[in-house]
Amino acid sequence: MINLHDIRYVRLGTANLDDARRYATQILGLQVAREASGAVYFRSDSRDHTLCYYEGDPRETTTAFEVTSSDELEHAAVLLERNAFSVVHGSREDAEVRHVNELIRFKDPSGNNIELVLRPHASGSRYFPSRDAGITGFSHIGLRTTDARRDEDFWTRLANARVSDRIGEAPLLRIDEVHHKIALFPSSHAGVQHINHQVESIDDVMRAYYFLRERNIKILFGPGRHPTSGAVFLYFEGPDGMTYEYSTGVSHIRAEDDSSHQPRQFPGVSSSYCAWGSKPDIPEFKA
């Protein structure tokens, strides 16, 4: 199977790069890693970058995962092609733009753009945020799925993802000890559904709530606590309709407990998303 080591970055097209840059720094609290022709790269931790906004169609979203060796990357390409997925090997220019050594691209069964990357660059300098949001790093993504059972099978049969819990038809998938790095939410179309950054504490979540309200940023869900992962969360609106999330306290499933872990089934209702009673203004989270 494809051995996903970690989630690496998200690439987002945007209709207004200047607005996206202002939002990522002044609101979200990321550090500008570099600016290139028609693109801005942002850091949230020790990785070279974890988010890139570029001039393009906002409907074009890409998520990248790291693999650990050339053999693993080639194995992934062969396995995907054997299962009727069209694989594109990235050019040297593609790799340089993403600050990785090699990559392949494909679409998952719902049409989400996925990249597998080898030897993505780390940063030699400490992450220095543009504002004190308390961010400790980029943690997970929500992906839209047009068939949750089919896509769950893809991520768990062809790749090493495992189901931690399910909410209705939506599986929460882990690739390491963190409760989930990928969440699949039923939708009519493909695309990144939300982007999560971990923050240090509940205080950071609450500070963000008031900070965002004062600046008229739309709060989409929370503050609340997920019954599944135990994380305290806040979802809010970003450029081009993207949803961002801060959360803290996500649970871990230890490696020694992995084989015996039994995913829980939560009903597809709002209380399965928030134990505190917050109601989501997010289409994929509504019953």
Domain-embedded: residue 126: no
Residue 107's contacts (CB-CB under 8 Å, 6 or more residues apart) are 85, 86, 113, 114, 190
pLDDT for the residue numbered 256: 79
User: Same structural domain for residues 244 and 147?
Assistant: yes
Structure tokens at 10: 């998200």
Dihedral, 207, 208, 209, 210 alpha carbons, nearest 10: 60
Residue where one domain finishes, among candidates 91, 118, 145: 118
Please list, in sequence order, all residues whose beta carbon lies within 8 angstroms of the beta carbon of residue 2, skipping any fewer than 6 positions away: 67, 72, 75, 76, 79, 80, 116, 158, 159, 160
Tokens, residue 234: 């806040």
Per-residue pLDDT at 259: 80
Structural domain includes residue 167: yes
User: What pLDDT score was predicted for residue 257?
Assistant: 79
Are residue 146 and residue 280 in the same domain, yes or no?
Answer: yes
58 and 163: one domain? no
The answer to whether the beta carbons of residues 164 and 263 sit under 8 Å apart is yes
* Domain-located, residue 130: no
Among 61, 85, 118, the domain boundary falls at 118
Structural domain of 156: 135-285
Q: Are residues 186 and 60 in the same domain?
A: no
CATH value at residue 247: 3.10.180.10
Per-residue pLDDT, 286 = 85
User: What is the pLDDT, as a whole number, of residue 287?
Assistant: 67
Pick out the chain residues at pLDDT < 70: 287
Q: Is residue 257 domain-resident? A: yes
pLDDT tens-digit profile of 105-127? 999 999 999 999 999 999 988 99
Q: What is the pLDDT at residue 124? A: 86
Q: What six digits make up the tokens of 92?
A: 């040297």
Same domain, 139 and 281: yes
Q: What is the count of structural domains for the chain? A: 2
251 and 111 within one domain: no
Domain boundary among 118, 148, 165: 118
